[in-house]
Structure 1
């Protein structure tokens, strides 16, 4: 069908209203034609590099470094560009400068004997790197990434060509002038940040930004500054989202986890939430209780004995509040089928035992001053006042609300992007491998529809204001997403928090995983999931995190013949003894997939002063013979649609259906 046949003319007449609107942006044949040529050219550019990171858990130093070095992409670029023409120590120094330009310049200014010559050499090297990383983008896209103050100069230098003899002195003059007028530092910083930005086209965070580590709010600030990002919510993220929505149960869980890992910096310093009421209550209520089962896991932190004692008391106090609130929720929602968590009413306060799964166990802690045996799930007046006050602090924390709104605007429960399915946890399955159906408000959901309805509730919990009944139910569903037996984020049959604190027998601590985790090695499961999400099983991948891959035990992150990739390898320090490494990250460029495993990151200080990069091992998962282009991506599909619309506009102009407006 040509642009001018009758069928196409009829289609154009039907679209005339839209085309008239489009003509306000492209008012002439020449402007529409130029845009078609531009879009068609973009389709032939190499596909942009995607960077996948999962389960960060507040480890902001490791994460920030990973963001700056793009999981080794910049180091590989330096190898490609300079090869053996630069010594390894010079490449390491240049890489560190690109990662931390401000900090590294302060050190180098003191160390370099001939600073002017160093500036000259370094500027030329950075321009070479910048040319390489910008070569797969249009000039327009590169221009948008440039800092306003130096945009024109950088653009001139990026478009320098070695064979243009007439302009050689012009370019040399630019470099010399930058140094002469003492702008070299600012220019180096600007170039380094442009390289960092252009080396990755899209960042994917596959869940769990929050909890355990000390700097989730720092990570969120960094993500908000990123030029292109999406987030797939993890179970720990959903807990904070629920807390910010006003769920007291989610707030109690957030505080319990923070106290468990002695991580109050995020809550108090990061988000300005006052925990003094909880501390005062805990010190009074548990004054003579050592709360030994609630001593926090400090990892490499050093706490004084008095702080350790205070944290343990606060930890126990908020845990009891949590168990009461959860009990109320379960009794309110029998459809959740979570009665196994109702344990406060199973305590025999005379025998100091508790019944779990029909079996009686001895309690290792018998001090329950706030529990009324006749009404064990009722908060005391003081407990109710404390959790209400702290919940209001979560709701009114300006910084937290800003971060959570960003989490909603850039996030989702799952994402289909460039033929890959991204989600944090699992697709709930029955033991026979079929999608688990869950009844919610009288309707059955499974597979994709289950994730869709959960996402709807997650958004209603935060944004719905008109009907408290709807909002409260949605907030209860947020808690279910945290620990419910068929939550795609939790991925286990039951949570055993009470048992882990109060019962020594480890048989009660077991949390069996959903069948998804037994079956995800099978290619057939991946193919069924692809079909459920309307994806091509021959070209698609599932990328998720949540359950750390125990590399030290020989477990592979590559499942189902390469169709399913698990990139939680222990970013969080608490998991590293289990995994043996410090995380996996994934790179998807125009040539295929690269999976990197990383050794623990010592510190930003060492990275800058001793030029210690994260030691990484990279495996090429897939390498295509024909390089992928923009036309092969989701953006390419959008551009092709735009081209078709513009072609229709051209026909409308040429057939006189719409008049050109030359003077617009």
Structure 2
């Protein structure tokens, strides 16, 4: 170390700050030893999920079983000693300990024996999943009530003759004091916590399913996670920020899938005013085009008709407000979506791309053909109330701010590039310049960075003057990110919502995808994109979601010779018939990548009572020749920098540049 040429003058201020945390040679040396040891631990397991779409039960189950990772570990430990049914019961206990214990008590004749056997099994599993962490990290994960006991059981083995009575007595006493249920529940939750080191969400928590708010509450309490925003997340951000077109889209999608739980129950937004308006204006309209795509079994004919009327009412208003915003920003070049201006209201036709089409219906009582995007007074009043409801919802703002704190447009982690949808490309496969501000364009990494900054601008508190104008532009731009042709979260020629409602011709429903989607199986382009984001090395990957993988049509999730993986979770029930599966999740552990293909999740009740799991097929995407260590990860790079700084501090202490001081607090054991 004495041969190193430290620039101590340059680093003196930093070293003095570092010395406050490590005031002696002993402190700095101990930390170097600790960090060097951590570098040689196995890499923590990363879990990748995408496109949850409000399906909170399936999402929660995948978290609890770690996409089959828990079952894999249980099989490795007990496949030679336990029957298949016993392994299934043990896994179910780990996933749902409170509920499973109650079921066991109803049928188990010797509950104390069950407690003994189960506790030993759980200790063995917990010992296995904690083996890749430091004792300090494991200790921080333990519940306060049982921290000491669990530590003792994890680090003492019952097969040690000198310790067998000690371990046995601990377990017997847990049972005799009536704490067995609580201890088993605590152990199961520790196993769930330790089996996954970090969770990556690749966008689209919101829309379609019944419980996006529940998903966000689960994430709020999850130990460590991040999110790359999806187009549906951006839509809800826009609604929260006060973009009225986004508010209409959010409500429209909920009505389209007959699923208002997140809006009404989750965020306390009352749709009664919309229902009243819809009955007044569209009471005699069959609204055939607006019958929900997915219909709740408990919905009667009258309820179905009311939803269709509400669905049409909010859709008509949506197209008006979108038109107003598109006109406000001519640089977006979305004049081709001013659809109300293309309708011949007397003939009931619309002209698109030079061709005339007959509308399935032309009942638009709130549209003035001379000023088709002008809201009626009743529509204005309705939107004002909905605007207030969305922007004033504390729960919604809490969840959106949570996404902002944990999220970004892209993420680079451990040799992987994560983003939700696309990187806009030109026809020749080069990076496309996309206008973000009027006459200001960006491409590639800079594009996603600038878009991310603009999204955050929409939530700036109390801006004044020019900043207030920038904030309003940012709020408007959230709509462009949802449906703009060059948006990295959409990247299609158009969003054919109007056409799907009012035109039978399938050709008008087509949404031409951008060149990214046409070229994402091209290995050279995948390499180019990763290089743009600074991802280097032989084992690098792009991971995203957004577009469901149509397995029933032969499509594969692994593209570009293994360098790009599409893991659209397909959790949404509405996708199951279209894709043939319930999507994919990805696990990246110290031995490599495993892609898990899921079958549809039945219910939490089935999982608990019958031990049914999300059946899936595991595909080994890539296995490492040697087991990866922390040293091989981004965390390893960070730790090496810390070690280097501590070595500089040691040099400064030993050569008198900085003087050792007494510790203010004793070192933590």
Q: Are 1:70 and 2:66 an aligned pair?
A: yes
Distance 2:249 2:184 in 1: 45
Distance 1:381 1:47 in 2: 61
Residue 463 of structure 1: SS of its match in structure 2? coil
**CA shift for structure 1 position 662:** 2.4
**Number of the residue aligned with 1:251:** 247
Q: Are 1:619 and 2:619 an aligned pair?
A: yes
Distance 2:205 2:573 in 1: 14
Residue 521 of structure 1: SS of its match in structure 2? coil
Distance 1:599 1:16 in 2: 58
**CA shift for structure 1 position 442:** 2.1
**Number of the residue aligned with 2:164:** 168
Structure 1 residues 184-193 or 357-366, which shifts more? 357-366
Q: Are 1:445 and 2:442 an aligned pair?
A: yes
**Number of the residue aligned with 1:571:** 571
**Number of the residue aligned with 1:295:** 291
Alignment of 1:175-254 (within 5 A): 175-254=171-250
Cα distance per residue 1:185-232 (max 9 Å; x no partner): 000000000000000001011111100011111111111111110101
**CA shift for structure 1 position 162:** 4.6
Q: Are 1:648 and 2:648 an aligned pair?
A: yes
Counterpart contact for 1:569–1:581, Cα < 8 Å: no
Counterpart contact for 1:242–1:462, Cα < 8 Å: no
Residue 52 of structure 1: SS of its match in structure 2? strand
Residue 23 of structure 1: SS of its match in structure 2? helix
Counterpart contact for 2:496–2:509, Cα < 8 Å: yes
Q: TM-score, normalised by structure 1?
A: 0.98
Q: Are 1:89 and 2:88 an aligned pair?
A: no
**CA shift for structure 1 position 500:** 0.9
Q: Are 1:456 and 2:453 an aligned pair?
A: yes
Distance 1:4 1:301 in 2: 76
Residue 487 of structure 1: SS of its match in structure 2? coil
Structure 1 residues 527-536 or 165-174, which shifts more? 165-174
**Number of the residue aligned with 1:117:** 113
Distance 1:287 1:25 in 2: 71
Equivalent position to 2:29, from 25, 30, 33: 33
Alignment of 1:624-639 (within 5 A): 624-639=624-639
Distance 2:390 2:537 in 1: 43
Distance 1:174 1:33 in 2: 37
Distance 1:553 1:163 in 2: 54
Equivalent position to 1:357, from 345, 353, 357: 353
Distance 2:617 2:420 in 1: 23
Counterpart contact for 1:32–1:650, Cα < 8 Å: yes
**CA shift for structure 1 position 464:** 4.8
**CA shift for structure 1 position 166:** 2.4
**Number of the residue aligned with 2:374:** 378
Counterpart contact for 2:158–2:168, Cα < 8 Å: no
Counterpart contact for 1:550–1:569, Cα < 8 Å: no
Counterpart contact for 2:240–2:397, Cα < 8 Å: yes
Counterpart contact for 1:59–1:213, Cα < 8 Å: yes
Distance 1:279 1:82 in 2: 57
Distance 1:177 1:663 in 2: 40
Distance 2:460 2:71 in 1: 43
Cα distance per residue 1:136-187 (max 9 Å; x no partner): 0000000011011111111111111356432221111110000001100000
Distance 1:168 1:656 in 2: 52
Alpha-carbon RMSD: 1.1
Residue 421 of structure 1: SS of its match in structure 2? strand
Counterpart contact for 1:464–1:470, Cα < 8 Å: no
Distance 2:292 2:391 in 1: 26
**CA shift for structure 1 position 537:** 5.2
Distance 1:299 1:418 in 2: 43
Q: Are 1:147 and 2:143 an aligned pair?
A: yes
Distance 1:270 1:42 in 2: 42
Counterpart contact for 1:551–1:569, Cα < 8 Å: no
Distance 1:495 1:167 in 2: 68
Counterpart contact for 1:353–1:361, Cα < 8 Å: yes
In structure 2, the CA distance between the partners of 1:468 and 1:80, relative to structure 1 (3 Å rule), is same
Structure 2: give runs of 5+ residues left out of the alignment. Answer: 665-669
Distance 2:283 2:577 in 1: 34
**Number of the residue aligned with 1:588:** 588
In structure 2, the CA distance between the partners of 1:351 and 1:551, relative to structure 1 (3 Å rule), is same
**CA shift for structure 1 position 446:** 1.0
Cα distance per residue 1:617-639 (max 9 Å; x no partner): 00111111211100111111111
Residue 84 of structure 1: SS of its match in structure 2? coil
Counterpart contact for 1:590–1:627, Cα < 8 Å: yes
Cα distance per residue 1:274-306 (max 9 Å; x no partner): 111111111101111111110112255431112
**CA shift for structure 1 position 569:** 5.1
**Number of the residue aligned with 2:496:** 496
In structure 2, the CA distance between the partners of 1:300 and 1:383, relative to structure 1 (3 Å rule), is closer
Distance 1:37 1:227 in 2: 26
Alignment of 1:350-429 (within 5 A): 350-429=346-425
Counterpart contact for 2:558–2:566, Cα < 8 Å: yes
Structure 1 residues 29-38 or 292-301, which shifts more? 292-301
Q: TM-score, normalised by structure 2?
A: 0.97
Distance 1:32 1:209 in 2: 44
Equivalent position to 1:286, from 282, 287, 291: 282
Distance 2:428 2:14 in 1: 50
Q: Are 1:547 and 2:553 an aligned pair?
A: no
Distance 1:655 1:486 in 2: 59
Residue 86 of structure 1: SS of its match in structure 2? coil
Residue 205 of structure 2: SS of its match in structure 1? coil
Cα distance per residue 1:469-519 (max 9 Å; x no partner): 111100111111101001111121111111111111111111011111111
Residue 322 of structure 1: SS of its match in structure 2? helix
**CA shift for structure 1 position 558:** 0.4
Number of equivalent positions: 660
Counterpart contact for 2:415–2:537, Cα < 8 Å: no
Distance 2:46 2:74 in 1: 19
Structure 1 residues 624-633 or 460-469, which shifts more? 460-469
In structure 2, the CA distance between the partners of 1:301 and 1:239, relative to structure 1 (3 Å rule), is farther
Residue 379 of structure 1: SS of its match in structure 2? coil
Counterpart contact for 1:55–1:208, Cα < 8 Å: yes
Cα distance per residue 1:559-618 (max 9 Å; x no partner): 011000001152211111111111101000001100110111100001000000111100
**CA shift for structure 1 position 4:** 4.9
